[in-house]
Structure 1
C-alpha cells in the first residue's frame, strides 16, 4: 500500500484521518453527510455518551458532526425509540470515518471484484464501494426495513445504485454469489456458514468478531479455502453493534443446586478496558463465558463470571494492596478455575493482543490460534 500524506503524519486538507491512495477518489466524491438523517446522535467515544443534533435547528453543529471522525448513532432500540433524547441501545449507526477507511483498505478489493456488504446502515460504505468498484459489483444487505429503505433512497439521491437487499444477512445473498470479498459492519459471535459457501476460494471475509466474554470485537480477515474452511489473522481491536440474531442474552444466576466453593487467589486482575488485550484472548480461550466488573465504594472490584451453557457463576473480589483475594464459585462449571488457567496461559504466551491471534472457521464452528493456525488456543 502506498501511504498518503495523512498516513505519513501530515493531515490532508479537510480530512483528519488517513485514506489509502486507491480509496481517495471515493472519499473525495462521497461525503458522509449525504447519508445522514436530519436527527442524529453524535457519539463521544471518551465518555460513551451521545448527544442529539437536529439539522433543522442546528445546521452548523450537524455539519460539524457529520464531518468529524466520530461514530454517529442513527437508530435506537431497533427503531422503537422516539424523540431527540438518546434511547437505550444504539442499533444502527454511521461508523467512525477513519475506521471505515481502514476497513476498506484491509478488504484488499480491486476493480472488477464482486463485494457483498453485510449491514447497509446509512448506505455510505456501499456508496464508497460502488464509486470504486461499480454499482454492478456491489450488493449490500440490511435486516431492518426502515434502515434499508432510507439507505436505498440516499444512495439513489447520491447517484449510486448497488443491489440493496432487505433480509437477514446470515443467509448471505445467493443470487449474487460467488463473491470475491465480504465486508461486515456489525459484530459477530459466529461466522455464518453461508458466507463461506458464497465466497470464492481465495476470497476474503472481513468482519468484527469476538466472544460474549465482552462486548468488544476484533477485526478478522479470513481467507476462504476450497475445502469449505476459512482462516486468517485478527488485525485490530474494534467494537460494533452486534448482529441481531447473535446478541447476548444474559444467563440467570443459579440460586439452587450445586455447592458453593470458597477459596483465595494470588492472581492479579488484568485490565478489562474496552480494547485491553486480555478480554479478547480470554473469551477465545474460555468459551461460553460472560464477565462483568462490579466496582465497590471502598475501591475494591469484583470480577463476575457467568456460564452461558450451564448454571454456574464465579466471583473474585480484588483489593489493592492485598496479596490474596476472595473467590466464590457455584454451579456445574468451576469458572474461576477455568479463568485462572486462561490467565496463566495468557501470561506464559507473552500476553498476546489481537495482532498475534487468529481464527479458523469450519462447518463445525471456529477455532482460535496463536501466531499460527497450527498453534490452537
Structure 2
C-alpha cells in the first residue's frame, strides 16, 4: 500500500510501502477482491480441494485452508485432524447485501458486488460491544476472534456500528475485560457506509478522496468499486491507519493512504471527482472545495457545534466560481473530526454561569432539543455552543456554553415553566428560541429542506422561502 505521513504543511510524495509489483484489476474483474494479489490467485488451490465457490473464501480462510492442507500432508494415516476450519463469511456477506437491498440502501449492482466480496471481518479482527454499567455509564466488552470465532463473525455482519478504540489508545486486544472510556474510533454500521457510497453517484474511473480511513472497510469497498489507484484515504491516528493499511494490503488493495490531518485533504493527488468524510464536522474545510474539481461532489456530516446528534449529511456540488452548494440529504451521526472536536466541560458549571445579564421566562422547553431537527437548528443559531445537562439536589439545569466568547444560557424548570438566565456578549437562548419558533411557524420542515453554500469566507445555511431561517457562519478570523 502506498503509505504516506503528512508533515508540516504538505505531505511528502506518496510511495508504496510494500510490493510495487502488485497491480489492481478494474472493477468487475474476475478476482473476488478486484486485484491480482497472490491471495486472490490462490482461488485455484481452493477448487483443487473440492470448493467451487472461490469468492466464498475470505483471505483468512485461504491462509487457514492452505496451512491445514500442509499439516494433513504430514499427518500419519488414520490420525484424526484437530484443525478447526476458519469461519466462512460468504453466506453472511450475501445476507448483509440482501438486508441492505431490502431496506432500500443498496441500489446498484456494482456496490452490491462490493458488499458481497469485501470481507468486513478482515477489518474487524476485534472490537467492543457496549452494555449498561452498574453506575449507568456504558461498559465496553472486548470481542475477539480468538475468544469465540462464531460469535465474533456473527457480530461482524450485524448492521451495527462497533467501537474499535477508546480514549485514543485502548483496543479490544489490549483490554483485559470490560472497560469504560470514550469511543475514539469505530467501524460504522454497513447501512450508513453503503448508503453514503451510493449517494456519491460514482462512475468508473473517478478519483475519490476519503477523509477518515478508520478500520478501512469503506476504503475497501471504494477500492473494489473504482480500483485502488483511484482512491486516496486520510487517517489522523497512526495506529488506526496502520491497522487499516495492513487489512487493505492483505486483500491486495495497494491504494494511496495518508497519515495526517484530513481537514487538509491530500492536495498531491488532487483534483478529485468525489470527496467523502466519515467523521462529523463543524464546517466543511475550504481545502476540500479547492481539491474537488468543478462538478465534483463533497459528501460529509455537519453539525456547527459538534454535538453527537442533531447533525446532517450534506451533499455539495463544487461550482466553477470556487464555491460549493447543495443540501442536507439525510440525518447521520459520526464521531467528530479530532481537530474540530469540542473539549468536554468539567469543573464547577455553576461558576461558568455565575454572572447573568438577563433573566426571564421562556416558552420554549429545552427538552425540545432532544429531538434531531431542533437540535440541528440550535447549532445553526448558536454555532460553537455546548449543551450540558446537570442535576443538583434533584433539580436539573440545562446549560449552553459558548466558551470562546464566554457566553452562557442556564435553564431551570419552575413547575411547567422554564426560566432562562443569560450572560456574555451573545444571547444564546434568544437565538435558539427565535430559530426554533420560526421553524415551527414554517410547519416544521424536515432537515432535508436545509441548503448550504460554502464560500472562501463563510458557510451559509438556509431553508427556502423562509427569511427567518437563514444563518451565515463566517470562517474564524486569524487571531494573535
TM-score range normalised by the length of the shorter chain: 0.7 to 0.9
Relative to structure 1, the CA distance from residue 243 to residue 213 in structure 2 (aligned partners, 3 Å threshold; closer, same or farther) is closer
Q: 1:262 aligns with which of 345, 359, 363?
A: 359
Unaligned 5+ segments in structure 1 are 1-11
Q: C-alpha deviations, 1:279-335, integer Å up to 9, x for none?
A: 01221122232222346786x653211123321211122366x2x322222333322
1:182 partnered with 2:275: yes
Q: 2:154 aligns with which of 64, 70, 73?
A: 64
1:235 partnered with 2:329: yes
Question: Which residue of structure 2 aligns with residue 289 of structure 1?
Answer: 385
Asked if structure 2 preserves the Cα contact closer than 8 Å seen for 1:301 and 1:319, the reply is no
- Give the Å deviation of 1:353: 3.0
1:27 partnered with 2:115: yes
- Give the Å deviation of 1:136: 1.2
After the TM superposition, which residues 145-184 of structure 1 pair with which residues of structure 2 at under 5 Å, given as runs?
Answer: 145-184=238-277
| Separation in 2, partners of 1:28, 1:13 | 5
Q: C-alpha deviations, 1:62-105, integer Å up to 9, x for none?
A: 11110100001111111256414344211111100111110001
Question: Which residue of structure 1 aligns with residue 127 of structure 2?
Answer: 40
TM-score by length of 2: 0.69
Q: 1:341 aligns with which of 431, 434, 446?
A: 434
- Give the Å deviation of 1:14: 1.3
Asked if structure 1 preserves the Cα contact closer than 8 Å seen for 2:369 and 2:378, the reply is no
1:314 partnered with 2:404: no
Between stretches 342-351 and 252-261, larger displacement belongs to 252-261
1:191 partnered with 2:284: yes
| Separation in 1, partners of 2:205, 2:466 | 31
Asked if structure 2 preserves the Cα contact closer than 8 Å seen for 1:292 and 1:304, the reply is yes
- Give the Å deviation of 1:185: 0.5
| Separation in 1, partners of 2:375, 2:120 | 32
SS in 2 for 1:14: helix
Q: How many residues align?
A: 361
SS in 1 for 2:287: helix
| Separation in 1, partners of 2:306, 2:213 | 27
Asked if structure 2 preserves the Cα contact closer than 8 Å seen for 1:183 and 1:206, the reply is yes
1:304 partnered with 2:391: no
| Separation in 2, partners of 1:80, 1:32 | 21
| Separation in 2, partners of 1:312, 1:34 | 47
Asked if structure 1 preserves the Cα contact closer than 8 Å seen for 2:316 and 2:326, the reply is yes
| Separation in 1, partners of 2:424, 2:185 | 37
- Give the Å deviation of 1:51: 3.0
SS in 2 for 1:187: strand
| Separation in 2, partners of 1:145, 1:291 | 31
Asked if structure 2 preserves the Cα contact closer than 8 Å seen for 1:359 and 1:373, the reply is no
Q: C-alpha deviations, 1:213-267, integer Å up to 9, x for none?
A: 6222211111111211111111111111111110102568565985453221233
- Give the Å deviation of 1:174: 1.3
Q: C-alpha deviations, 1:137-170, integer Å up to 9, x for none?
A: 1111111111111111111111212111112112
Q: 2:100 aligns with which of 8, 14, 17?
A: 17
C-alpha RMSD of the superposition? 2.7
Between stretches 133-142 and 85-94, larger displacement belongs to 85-94
TM-score by length of 1: 0.87
Q: 1:272 aligns with which of 369, 385, 389?
A: 369
SS in 2 for 1:351: coil
| Separation in 2, partners of 1:213, 1:338 | 18
| Separation in 2, partners of 1:364, 1:44 | 44
